[in-house]
Structures are given as structure tokens and as C-alpha cells.
């Protein structure tokens, strides 16, 4: 099975992920309900959805950390099952090709120093020492954190933690990068830094799947937007098309209208994100 993954060549025709009627329950609560989705190599996809829509669960299934209760999820044709991941060859090949950046960097950063953190993945995959040293230094330079290499991750700022968490996965140079809310809780400057890093890393052949509910970064991170609601796909289109569909966004709880008074006259704003929206006071 490992050979099957290793022998695959990345090309635009290759299906990276194929989810068919995937169901997943968490403590008897349905998190994914018959979700179907196909992801081709080199695509940049945004998974949009409100809290609890199933975005994070889907990413964890795609990273083979959880496994579907029903339906099938395949990576390059190989079913992602518990049994498959028990095979060391398959598991290491998969981990080499698919990386997940967790939403909460405090969960992801568990090593004593930043350097150890970035070196953790390559060490687990058994890379040669010289290559690990070279790649870790290069990756730290890439995120502008060489001066932080001896610092303990828990002592970093929120933006620094996020960049180190990103570096700890990107150091493996995976073909597929899964990002769970990469810019959540970051100040505007740190948000821009993370997005710029992602843009500079992607050589056009990487598959990047980003779960987010921040519509303002949609155009920068994706060419395809998949909207999830209650654990199923409710829309799959170009970002501009999705952003133009106010009804869809409202029904998926991605935007909300609010009412307020201007000069004593009550009126309604449908969305702060839809910049084409004009209203008269």
C-alpha cells in the first residue's frame, strides 16, 4: 500500500482526496452527514462554514486522525482506514505527503524549544540528521524565526506560535497542506504574515485546503470555496460566486444582517463582507 502512495505522481489530473457519502459521529452527535467531495492535486480550496459545521472534523478525517463511521474517504485511491494507518509504511508515506496545522497552536507545540518543534516531524519520519538540520534552519529562516530557535514555544506571542506551528508542518514539504483556521485570533499584521508565508510556500503544485469562516481572506487563500452546513456540502463554487450569494451565506451562518439606526431611521446591513453592497441612509 505504501508503494501505491509513493508511486503516485502529482499532477493536476490526480485526485488527492475523494470523499463519498462520508459520515462521522462524535459522542453520538453527527458531525459529518453524507459528505461527498473531490479534491484534485494543486487545488487551493477554502472550506467555509460556521462553528460546528464539520470543517475541523473533515480536516481530521483527511489527515487520518479520525476515521469515517460510514462512506469512504480515499487519498490518492487508498482508503483512509484505521487498518491502513497501522501499516508503518503507509502511515509514514501518508504523513510525509499530508500535513495538518491545528487551529490551536498551543496544542500543536509540545516540544521544549522552537528548534525541537520544527525538527519533530522530520525526526519521526527518519530523515538523515544533516538533512534535518538543513531543512529546520531553512524553514526557521523562511518564517523569520531563527532568533527564536532556542525559545520555549509557550513563551512566544500568538502570531509567532502560529508561524512556528506552520513551520513545524511545512518543514516536511507535504504535497497537501490542511489548515484549520490559520488566521483565527491573530492581529491584522500576523494574519497578513501567515497568508504571505502560505503564498510564498506554494509553488502552484501544492494542494492547500483551508478551513475558515473569515470571508475576507477567501480570495487570497483559494480558487474554490466549499460551503459546509450541518456536516454536508451545501455549495461548491468559485469564491466570488459564493460571496455573491447572500442567501447561501446567511443560511450557512457565515454572515448575518444587523439593524441599526441612522438619524433615527432604522435600516439593515446584509453583510459587512459584501463590498458591492450599497445602501442609502
Partner 1 sequence: MSTGVLGKTVRGFSEALTQTLVAEDSAHGRGLLQALDPRVKLVGLLALVVAAALSRKLAVMAALFGLGIVLALASRLSLWSLAKRVWVVAFGFTFMIAAPALFLTPGVAVYRLGSLAITAQGLRSALLLIARVETAVTLSSLLVLTTPWMHLLKALRTLLVPVEVIMLLAMTHRYVVLLTETANAMFESRQSRVVGRLNGQQQRRLMVNTGGVLLSKTLEMGNQVFLAMQARGFRGEVRLLNEFRMRARDYVAISGFAVAAVAAVAAGR
Contacting positions for partner 1 (CB under 8 A): 60, 63, 65, 88, 91-92, 95-96, 99-100, 102, 104, 106-108, 110-112, 116, 119-121, 123-126, 129, 132-133, 152, 154, 168-169, 172
Exposed/middle/buried for 279, CB within 10 Å: 0-12, 13-18, 19+? Answer: exposed
Coil, strand or helix at 74: strand
Burial bucket for residue 52 (CB in 10 Å: 0-12, 13-18, 19+): middle
CB of 126: closest distance to partner 1 in angstroms? Answer: 7
The per-residue DSSP string of 123-171 comes to HHTT--HHHHHHHHHHHHHHTT-GGGTTS-GGGS-HHHHHHHHHHHHHT
Cell of 139: 524553514
Strand pairing class (44-48; 258-262): unpaired
Least separation in angstroms between CB 162 and partner 1: 14
> For 233, phi and psi rounded to 5 degrees?
-80, 125
Identity of the residue, 100 or 156, whose beta carbon is nearer to partner 1 in the bound complex: 100
Query: What minimum distance in Å lies between the beta carbon of 237 and partner 1?
Result: 30
CA nearest neighbour of 214 among 101, 100, 49: 49
Residue 16 CB, nearest distance to partner 1 (Å)? 17
Shorter beta-carbon distance to partner 1: residue 87 or 277: 87
Which CB sits closer to partner 1, 48 or 167?
A: 167
Closest approach of Cβ 152 to partner 1, in Å? Answer: 7
Contacts of residue 106, defined as CB under 8 A and 6 or more positions apart, other chains included, come to: 154, 161
Q: 74: alpha, beta or left, given left = phi > 0 and alpha = psi -120 to 50?
A: beta
Residue 237, strand partner residues? 225
Q: Report the nearest approach of partner 1 to the CB of residue 154 (Å).
A: 7
Nearer to partner 1, 121 or 231 (CB): 121
Smallest gap from Cβ 205 to partner 1, in A, equals 22
Q: Which is nearer to partner 1, 16 or 215 (CB)?
A: 16
Radius of gyration (C-alpha) of the chain in whole angstroms? 20
Residues in the chain: 281
CB of 168 or CB of 212, closer to partner 1: 168
Instruction: Tell me whether residue 168 or residue 254 sits nearer to partner 1 (CB atom).
Output: 168
For partner 1, give the closer residue by CB, 96 or 163. Answer: 96
DSSP helix/strand/coil, 187: coil
How far apart are CB 172 and partner 1 at their closest, in Å? 8
Amino acid at each position: 500500500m505504501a508503494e501505491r502512495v509513493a508511486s503516485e505522481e502529482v499532477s493536476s489530473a490526480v485526485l488527492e482526496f475523494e470523499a463519498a457519502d462520508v459520515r462521522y459521529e462524535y459522542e453520538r452527535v453527527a458531525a459529518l452527514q453524507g459528505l461527498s467531495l473531490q479534491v484534485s492535486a494543486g487545488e487551493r480550496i477554502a472550506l467555509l462554514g460556521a462553528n460546528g459545521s464539520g470543517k475541523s472534523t473533515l480536516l481530521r478525517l483527511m489527515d487520518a486522525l479520525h476515521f469515517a463511521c460510514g462512506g469512504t474517504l480515499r487519498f490518492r485511491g487508498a482508503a483512509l482506514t484505521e487498518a491502513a494507518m497501522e501499516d508503518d509504511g503507509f502511515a509514514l508515506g501518508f504523513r510525509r505527503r499530508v500535513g495538518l496545522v491545528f487551529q490551536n497552536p498551543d496544542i500543536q507545540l509540545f516540544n521544549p524549544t522552537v528548534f525541537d518543534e520544527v525538527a519533530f516531524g522530520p525526526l519521526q519520519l527518519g530523515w538523515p540528521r544533516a538533512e534535518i538540520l538543513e531543512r529546520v534552519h531553512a524553514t526557521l529562516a523562511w518564517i523569520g524565526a531563527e532568533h527564536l530557535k532556542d525559545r520555549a514555544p509557550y513563551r512566544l506571542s500568538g502570531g509567532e506560535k502560529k508561524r512556528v506551528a506552520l513551520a513545524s508542518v511545512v518543514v516536511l514539504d507535504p504535497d497537501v497542506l490542511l489548515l484549520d483556521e490559520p488566521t483565527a485570533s491573530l492581529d491584522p499584521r500576523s494574519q497578513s504574515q501567515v497568508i504571505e508565508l502560505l503564498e510564498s510556500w506554494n509553488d502552484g503544485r501544492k494542494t492547500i485546503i483551508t478551513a475558515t469562516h473569515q470571508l475576507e481572506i477567501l480570495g487570497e487563500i483559494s480558487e474554490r470555496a466549499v460551503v459546509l452546513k450541518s456536516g454536508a456540502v451545501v455549495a461548491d463554487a468559485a469564491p466570488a460566486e459564493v460571496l455573491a450569494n447572500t442567501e447561501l451565506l446567511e443560511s450557512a451562518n457565515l454572515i448575518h444582517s444587523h439593524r441599526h439606526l441612522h438619524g433615527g431611521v432604522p435600516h439593515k446591513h446584509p453583510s459587512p463582507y459584501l463590498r458591492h453592497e450599497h445602501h442609502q441612509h
